[in-house]
Amino acid sequence: MEQVFVTQLTPLLFLERSADVFPQKTAMVYRGERHTYAQMADHAQRLAGALRASGVQPGDRVAYLMPNLPEMLVAHFGVPLAHAVLVAINIRLSGEEIAYILQHSGAKVLVADSELTSVVARHLASCPDLQEVVVVDDVGTEPAVEATPYPDFLARADGTPFPWRVDDEQRTISINYTSGTTGRPKGVMYTHRGAHLNALAEIVHSRHHPGSVYLWTLPMFHCNGWCTTWGVTAIGGTHVCLRSVEPGTVWKLIDEEGRHPPQRGSHRAHLPGQSSRRPPGGSGSGGDHRRGPSQPHHHRPDGGAGSRDRPRVRPDRDVRAVHGL
């Protein structure tokens, strides 16, 4: 008998709520384009519809080989919305290691950044369960494999809405693999319940709030970004996506995106060995010193390390590094 007083926990509830409570609030930013929570939820729904139209059934594995692009963030909702399992793969692995993960997980679909297809192209023939490769063309690189363009893939969705609910919170939401430093990569299964609870813990640990602006220097493929993919969404913060970590771009985005929304907010960027709130031209000491040295690691404006002539950050930007990479 259904227990009407019990809600099965899942991170999908976070996007449902934020799209309802903050429909016009900026959810994702990438290269000057801004997407609202309503648009993010619609993207997730179309992705789920496209997966189902492509033959992906509940429990099937869907692999992603992609930098921190908006499509990668949406996958954390769209894939489980179709009751499939997300396999986010480390983009720094060798082609053999990536192929092994595709084999071991039994991935049915691979969604990849076009630039990364060359790494794994010659190994895909050894992945018997793989039925289709979908490519996201972010930098204008011709894919090295026969693949379906991402917009064409999304167009398969018929518009049927998927419920933001699961019938079993112990259902697997993702499988994350180690980097194989002690042998073959090893997979760890996350449940919807575990991901939901850890995402809430990340909000508490990192002190996120609806004004938070989160700069994605932490790989989303790494433990699903420590579940921050779901956590920032839960609190209604803003995700700033980043294809690659370049110090000059990081400081520029911290300064620029701190203006959205206009009220004072906190900008989280996971930077190596850094934890500081930096006044203009100051030494950069202060802030949360529970992790990392009290003085920041200095960067030259051109991205090199070691110079104190780093770009200035406005004093109302509360920059916090939760962990060093």
User: What is the rounded distance in angstroms from the CA atom of residue 111 to the CA atom of residue 115?
Assistant: 12
Q: b/e map of 107-123 (b: 16 or more CB within 10 Å)?
A: bbbbbbbbbbbebbbeb
Tokens 């082609």 locate to 95
Whether 313 and 287 have beta carbons less than 8 Å apart is answered as: no
Strands 213-215 and 238-240: parallel
Whole-structure pTM value:
0.84
Average pLDDT of every residue of the chain: 85
CB burial of residue 316 (10 Å; 0-12, 13-18, 19+): exposed
Residue 292 has pLDDT above 50, yes or no: no
Q: Measure the CA angle with vertex 250, ends 247 and 251; round to 5°.
A: 90
pLDDT in tens, 52-109: 999 999 999 999 999 999 999 999 999 999 999 999 999 999 999 999 999 999 999 9
Q: Tell me the mean pLDDT in the region 211-234.
A: 96
**260: pLDDT confidence band, cut at 50, 70 and 90?**
low
Q: Measure the CA angle with vertex 269, ends 234 and 298; round to 5°.
A: 170
Q: Can you give the pLDDT at residue 226?
A: 95
What is the CATH number assigned to the segment(s) 37-193? 3.40.50.12780
Residue 232 has pLDDT above 50, yes or no: yes
User: What is the rounded distance in angstroms from the CA atom of residue 246 to the CA atom of residue 164?
Assistant: 36
Strands 266-269 and 318-320: parallel
Number of CB atoms found within 10 A of residue 168's CB: 12
Q: Tell me the mean pLDDT in the region 171-191.
A: 92
CB burial of residue 262 (10 Å; 0-12, 13-18, 19+): exposed
Q: Measure the CA angle with vertex 72, ends 68 and 76; round to 5°.
A: 125
- DSSP track, 1-58: ---TT-----THHHHHHHHHHSTTSEEEEETTEEEEHHHHHHHHHHHHHHHHHTT--T
User: What is the rounded distance in angstroms from the CA atom of residue 52 to the CA atom of residue 155?
Assistant: 12
User: What is the rounded distance in angstroms from the CA atom of residue 318 to the CA atom of residue 255?
Assistant: 10
Helices (H), the chain: 12-21, 37-53, 70-81, 95-105, 117-120, 150-154, 192-206, 223-226, 228-235, 247-257
Q: At 109, which helix (H) or strand (E)?
A: strand 107-113
Q: Can you give the pLDDT at residue 138?
A: 96
pLDDT in tens, 122-142: 999 999 999 999 999 999 999
Q: Which of 25-29, 31-35, 214-218, 287-291 has the lowest mean pLDDT?
A: 287-291
Q: Tell me the mean pLDDT in the region 289-317.
A: 41
| Alpha-carbon separation of residue 139 from 142, 143, 189, 300 (angstroms) | 9, 11, 32, 26
**206: pLDDT confidence band, cut at 50, 70 and 90?**
very high
Q: Can you give the pLDDT at residue 289?
A: 30
User: What is the rounded distance in angstroms from the CA atom of residue 180 to the CA atom of residue 97?
Assistant: 8
Residue 274 CB partners (closer than 8 Å, separation 6+): 292, 296, 297, 321, 324
Q: Can you give the pLDDT at residue 293?
A: 30
In the chain, where the domains are located: 37-193
User: Looking at per-residue confidence, does 167 or 182 come out higher?
Assistant: 167
| Alpha-carbon separation of residue 258 from 23, 29, 169, 240 (angstroms) | 20, 12, 36, 11
Residue 282 has pLDDT above 70, yes or no: no
